[in-house]
């Protein structure tokens, strides 16, 4: 065989492998984009369905009250 035919065959094989690799990369990138959209939707839904501001504020107030009582008890012991 002529050397140019062998080189052309090798270059063709490399081009086929590169094309297949790029195709796989773009398929995986599309799948990752879809999963990212699904995750974003789930996080957005979670953020909107979480507790309200009033519930959060009451929970924080309970924690602060408990800490103040603990602090007062420690101050009384000293």
Express each pLDDT in 11-68 by its tens digit. 999 999 999 999 999 999 999 999 999 999 998 888 777 777 888 899 999 999 999 9
pLDDT computed for residue 55 by the predictor: 86
Q: Which two tokens stand for residue 4?
A: 């140019």
């Amino acid at each position: 065989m002529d050397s140019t035919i062998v080189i052309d065959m090798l270059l063709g094989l490399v081009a086929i492998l590169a094309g297949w690799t790029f195709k796989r990369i773009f398929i995986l990138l599309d799948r990752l984009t879809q999963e990212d959209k699904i995750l974003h939707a789930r996080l957005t839904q979670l953020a909107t369905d979480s507790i309200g501001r009033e519930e959060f504020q009451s929970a924080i107030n309970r924690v602060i009250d408990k800490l103040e009582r603990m602090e007062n008890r420690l101050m009384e012991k000293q």
